[in-house]
A and B are shown apart, each in its own frame.
Chain A
């Protein structure tokens, strides 16, 4: 495998640039001056020991946690002060480490609800009645069904999402994120607690998505998975980035091996 940095054309702008991010919880420095570039069209892995601040960083990038300080530029636009929902609408979409399906919505509804550009998704649109938005809805149902088909969950579309297995909930969450038409997908341990068979499926889906040009930043524990999937890897420890590069280049760095890869 070639190093990602060597592949990337120098002119290509990173999808996301975060500089000097701090996030403090009552004196605890969960993220302590981290800077990270996420190259476009690649899968970037974010690894590090427990408590390194990976999930916190992800949340800060997505805006579900506000940064204490630092700047975040997403696709050339400074989004540091924009709230999470606005970042999501702009295509910076995250998933969660714990299952976060909408339990009492059906699988199909879980996808539909994420779709932007539905005329019935405002109060006034809704009040104008079904005929006003049904065209949008039909289009989105088709789009959602296509996704369901691709992820092999067509048969489950009318089931409540809360009744799905852990792995299926992961898939729902990824599909839901895809419905937004993201430009950068932030995945928080998408394989954790998932049946090994589905792990493999998810891996394939992610590879396909990359092939379609989607940029992904994923927090992952499973190093084999990271090695197989990620073009670049960023290592965090104690709230700081301690190294980045390809997995193989990282293995050559003594302190990183000490900090994480072995211990």
Chain B
């Protein structure tokens, strides 16, 4: 039983990492209507940016900020240079999925000769273990949970209380209408790519820190986990993605405790398939902050 309690503690960390990534992904999708399959590779690129800074002597916390900045700029440029022109050309959503998958493939393989196949680690002392019953987490893991909580609250505040957030929701609901109502949708979309890109970059560094060691192949792993959390919660719904992250993070850790750990991801995805059959719109469809108002 202790193992399950401990796994629950680890689940808190896992779901924090997934939540940061999945919320960024799902906002990107919800507002710009773009399923960006290169998201995982932007994450891993940002993780490597932080890695090289870390090797150059900077702390990982600095690396996190740099990774977020890198992710923001990278995502922004990706949209401006590639996705936006394709969308303007009238490429269907399905076409955009294929384009972004091709981009994902290219980023991973351009990165490969630079970073190599082999796993690397940040030079970071995770701090001492803080125990609470059977739950034992390091200082860094608490910080990760803290970052996730702060970010989730910040996103809630952004969407609910700020003009930008309201403009985002309006754009998500109906871009044409939003534009006609005087919302500068182009600037809103730029802002969305910057904000979600920053979340993506930050999530990459956090995920890499959380994994202790990471390799180029993790980009695809990240993506699949993020997709699972986002789809589970109802894609495009930030609060749904949070719930999806909680479920995927917890199920992964608890099933590793309950069954053979080699299947832990399979179990999480089994739940995803079940949701697709029973509630294909996702758990929280059309109720989240980005849902059409009225």
Do A and B have CB atoms closer than 8 angstroms in the complex?
Answer: yes
| Docked CA distance A45–B294 (Å) | 27
Complex interface: chain A residues within 8 A of B286 (CB): 26
Does A28 sit at the interface, judged by CB under 8 A? yes
Does B120 sit at the interface, judged by CB under 8 A? no
Interface centre among B286, B287, B294 (most CB of A within 10 A): B294
Interface size class of A (residues with CB under 8 A): under 10
Does B155 sit at the interface, judged by CB under 8 A? no
Does B151 sit at the interface, judged by CB under 8 A? no
- Distance of A18 from chain B, by nearest CB (Å): 25
Does B178 sit at the interface, judged by CB under 8 A? no
Complex interface: chain A residues within 8 A of B294 (CB): 28
| Docked CA distance A28–B291 (Å) | 13
Complex interface: chain A residues within 8 A of B291 (CB): 26
- Distance of B294 from chain A, by nearest CB (Å): 6
**CB neighbors of B among A25-81 (8 A):** 26, 28
Complex interface: chain B residues within 8 A of A28 (CB): 294
| Docked CA distance A26–B286 (Å) | 8
| Docked CA distance A26–B294 (Å) | 9
Task: Please give me the residue from chain A that is nearest to B286 by CB atom.
Answer: A26
| Docked CA distance A28–B292 (Å) | 11
Task: Please give me the residue from chain A that is nearest to B287 by CB atom.
Answer: A26
- Distance of B78 from chain A, by nearest CB (Å): 28
| Docked CA distance A28–B294 (Å) | 7
Task: Please give me the residue from chain A that is nearest to B294 by CB atom.
Answer: A28
**CB neighbors of B among A1-38 (8 A):** 26, 28
B198-242 vs A, CB cutoff 8 Å, 1 = contact: the mask equals 000000000000000000000000000000000000000000000
- Distance of A153 from chain B, by nearest CB (Å): 25
Task: Please give me the residue from chain A that is nearest to B291 by CB atom.
Answer: A26
Complex interface: chain B residues within 8 A of A26 (CB): 286-287, 291
B283-294 vs A, CB cutoff 8 Å, 1 = contact: the mask equals 000110001001
- Distance of B284 from chain A, by nearest CB (Å): 12
- Distance of A239 from chain B, by nearest CB (Å): 13
| Docked CA distance A26–B287 (Å) | 8
- Distance of A20 from chain B, by nearest CB (Å): 24
- Distance of B151 from chain A, by nearest CB (Å): 27
| Docked CA distance A26–B288 (Å) | 12
**CB neighbors of A among B242-294 (8 A):** 286-287, 291, 294
Task: Please give me the residue from chain B that is nearest to A27 by CB atom.
Answer: B294
Task: Please give me the residue from chain A that is nearest to B285 by CB atom.
Answer: A26
**CB neighbors of B among A90-110 (8 A):** none
Task: Please give me the residue from chain B that is nearest to A51 by CB atom.
Answer: B294
- Distance of A148 from chain B, by nearest CB (Å): 28
| Docked CA distance A26–B292 (Å) | 10
- Distance of A97 from chain B, by nearest CB (Å): 15
| Docked CA distance A28–B286 (Å) | 12
- Distance of A181 from chain B, by nearest CB (Å): 32
- Distance of A237 from chain B, by nearest CB (Å): 17
| Docked CA distance A124–B80 (Å) | 47
Complex interface: chain A residues within 8 A of B287 (CB): 26
**CB neighbors of A among B132-169 (8 A):** none
**CB neighbors of B among A162-196 (8 A):** none
| Docked CA distance A112–B294 (Å) | 40
- Distance of A25 from chain B, by nearest CB (Å): 8
- Distance of B261 from chain A, by nearest CB (Å): 41
| Docked CA distance A147–B184 (Å) | 46
| Docked CA distance A28–B287 (Å) | 13
- Distance of A55 from chain B, by nearest CB (Å): 16
| Docked CA distance A26–B285 (Å) | 10
- Distance of B212 from chain A, by nearest CB (Å): 44
| Docked CA distance A59–B59 (Å) | 59
- Distance of B113 from chain A, by nearest CB (Å): 40
Task: Please give me the residue from chain B that is nearest to A28 by CB atom.
Answer: B294
- Distance of A24 from chain B, by nearest CB (Å): 12
- Distance of B283 from chain A, by nearest CB (Å): 15
- Distance of B237 from chain A, by nearest CB (Å): 13
- Distance of A28 from chain B, by nearest CB (Å): 6
Which 4 A-B pairs rank lowest in CB-CB distance, beginning with the nearest? A26-B286, A28-B294, A26-B287, A26-B291
Which residues of A approach B to under 8 Å, CB–CB?
A: 26, 28
What are 4 A-B contacts defined by CB distance under 8 Å?
Answer: A26-B286, A26-B287, A26-B291, A28-B294
